[in-house]
Structure 1
Amino acid sequence: MDEVEVVVAHSERATLRVGEVFLKVDGDRARAEVEARAMALAPVPTPEVLWHRPPALAIAALPGRALGRYGRPSTASPAAWAAAGAAIRTLHDAPLPPWPGRSADGLAAVLDVECAWLVANDVLPGGLVARNRRIAEAALRPWTPVFVHGDLQPSHVFVDGEEVIGIIDWSEAARGDALFDLAVLTLGHRDRLGDVLAGYGAGPGLDLDVIRAWWVLRSLLAVRWLAEHGFDPSAPGCEIDVLGAARL
C-alpha cells in the first residue's frame, strides 16, 4: 500500500499525496470548483483531473520538477524560465474565464486593512509599511483583464528540462491583471524576471515598475496569512525581504 504524504495542510485546505495521486480537500467548495473549471479551460498543460467530488479533488501527479521555490535558489535554466513566460502568455491570450476577479478598488481596501494590522501588531516598522504602501499604489490602476492563474508561484510550474509540462493549483484563477501573474512567479526570484519576459514577449502595458509594485502589494497582503497558517514570510528571499528591499 502506498504511504500517505501530507504535502500541505492548514485550516483552509489540505493536500495529500498517495502514490501518483494528489488529493486536495478545500473547505471552500466554490474555490475547489474554480480549480477544476480553470484547469479544464486553461490552454496550457495542467494535471489530469481524476475525479471531483466536492470538497475533494483528485489529480494525477506530474513528472518533472518545480521551476523553483520561494526562499531557495532556482537551479532551472534561463530557457526553462523563458518557457514559463511563454506559457503565461498563452494563458493570458486565452478567452476570459466566465467568473470575475478582484478589482483595484477591492484590493486597495484590503491593503489598507493589512497595512494597519502590520503596524498595530509590530510586525514591521510603520515607516517601512508606509513606504511600501506608496510603492504598491502603482499596481492599483485600471487594467485590461486577462485569464490569470492567480497564484503562479514557481513551485506551481513543473518543467522537464526546458519544457513546461504542467501548472498546478488553480484555485485562485480568475480575470485579473497580467502583470500580477508575472510578479508572483518572480517575487522570490527577481533576478529571473528578464528570462521570464524573454519568453513572455513584449506588448502594451508591460510596465516593469508595475511588476515591482505587484511584488510589494502581494507581499503586504500575504504576510499575515502566511504567519497565521504556519508559513514563514521572513525566510530569505520571501515577502519580508521583498518589502525591505523595495525602493521608491
Structure 2
Amino acid sequence: MTTEGIPDVHVVVAHRARATLRVGDVVVKVDPDRAGIDAEVAAMALAPVPTPEVLWRHHPVLAIGLVPGTALGTYGHPSPVGPGGWTAAGAAVRALHDATPLPPWGGRSLDDLAVRLDEACAWFVRDGVVPVDVLEHNRRLAQRVLRPWTPVFAHGDLQPDHVFVLDDRVTGIIDWSGAGPGDPLHDLAVLTLGHPEHVDDVVAGYGDDVDLDVLRGWWSYRSLTAIPWLAEHGFGPVETYPETAVLLAATH
C-alpha cells in the first residue's frame, strides 16, 4: 500500500474542548459546541472582511478552505510580518467594527466579565502560580475594561495567528466561533497581546480613537482569564505561557 500523493495530517491544536486539523488545503475543526460552530459559520457569512470558504459541515465537524498568506504571529514568538501587515490588519478590524447590522445573537455583559475576572483571580490565589503583587496589579489593570462600551461586530478571539496577510493586505481571518456584539478594544488587545511593538502599526490602520489604557487593561484581563483555562486543558506549566510573561511584564 502506497501513501504517495496523500496529504499529511497536521494537528493545528487539540485539547479536550476541540481539535483542529489541516489536511492538504482543507482545515477540519471538530467541536461539540454546536452554538459555537453555528456562530462561526454565520459570522463568516456576515463579516465584511476575507474569511475562509465553508466547504461542508456535519456536526460536530466543520471543514473550511485554507487561506493564503502568512499569519501575523504567534504568542511568545517574534512576528514574521512587517509593520505594513499589522497596519493592514488594523484597517481590516476597523472595517469589521464599522459593519452593520450587528450579529443578532447576544454578547458578553459587564456582569459576565466581572464574574469571570473574579473566578480567575480566585484560581490564582488558590494555586499561587504568580506572586500576589503581580496578581493584584494586573487585577487593577483588568478592571479598566469593566466600563460601558458601544457594541460593534467583534471577532471575539482575534489572536495574531488568526489573521493572515500577503503583500501587506489581509487575505483571511479565521476562527470566528467567539464572534458577536462586543467591545472593540477587546479585539485590538487580543491582536496585539504579546506584540506591543506593533500597537502603533495596528492603530495606524484602525484609527486614532483607541484608548491605550483600556487596551492594556484587556491584556491583563485576557491573560488572567486565559491562564486557568490553559492550565486545566493540559497546555503545560503555567510559567511557560506567553500570557504569564504578559502579567509579569505589566508590573515593570
Q: TM-score, normalised to structure 1's length?
A: 0.95
SS of match in other structure, 1:80: helix
Aligned residue for 2:3? Answer: none
Structure 1 distance, partners of 2:239, 2:97, is 31
Q: Does 1:34 align with 2:57?
A: no
Aligned to 1:196, what secondary structure does the other structure show? helix
Name the amino acid aligned to 1:11: R
Q: Which runs of 4+ in 1 moved over 3 A?
A: 232-236
CA contact (8 A) 1:119 1:125 kept: no
Q: How does 1:79-90 map to 2 (within 5 A)?
A: 79-90=84-95
Q: Does residue 1:68 correspond to 2:73, yes or no?
A: yes
What is the letter of the counterpart of residue 212 of structure 1?
R
Q: 1:241 corresponds to which residue? A: 245
Map of 2:226 onto structure 1: 222
2:142 paired residue number = 136
- Aligned amino acid, residue 250 of structure 2: A
CA distance in 2 between partners of 1:183 and 1:231 (Å): 22
2:70/2:81 contact within 8 Å kept = no
- Per the alignment, in what secondary structure is the counterpart of residue 94 of structure 1? coil
Residue in 2 that maps onto 1:190:
196
Count the aligned residue pairs.
245
**Cα distance between partner residues in 1 of 2:78 and 2:95:** 26
When the two chains are superposed, the root-mean-square deviation of aligned CA atoms in Å is 1.4
Deviation of the 1:71 alpha carbon: 0.5
**C-alpha distance in structure 1 between counterparts of 2:228 and 2:162, whole Å:** 21
In 2, distance between residues paired with 1:40 and 1:130? 41
Q: CA deviation at 1:247?
A: 4.3
Instruction: Give the drift of 1:231.
Output: 2.5
The answer as to whether partners of 1:39 and 1:170 remain within 8 angstroms in 2 is yes
CA distance in 2, matches of 1:77, 1:101: 33
Q: Percent identity?
A: 61
Q: Name the amino acid aligned to 2:219.
A: W
TM-score (norm: length of structure 2):
0.94
The residue type equivalent to 2:223 in the other structure is S
CA distance in 2, matches of 1:76, 1:11: 31
Give 2:207's match in structure 1, choosing from 196, 201, 205. Answer: 201
Deviations 1:95-115 (A, max 9, x none): 211111111211111111110
Q: Distance in 2 between matches of 1:211 and 1:65?
A: 25
Q: Could you tell me how far 1:123 is from its partner in structure 2?
A: 1.3
Q: Tell me, in whole angstroms, the C-alpha distance in 1 between the residues paired with 2:163 and 2:26.
A: 17
Q: In 2, Cα distance between the equivalents of 1:24 and 1:149?
A: 18
1:181 maps to 2:187: yes
Work out whether 1:156 is the aligned partner of 2:147. no
In the alignment, what sits opposite 1:116? Answer: 122
The CA distance in 1 between the partners of 2:201 and 2:143, in whole Å, is 26
CA drift at 1:202: 2.0
Equivalent residue number for residue 96 of structure 2: 91
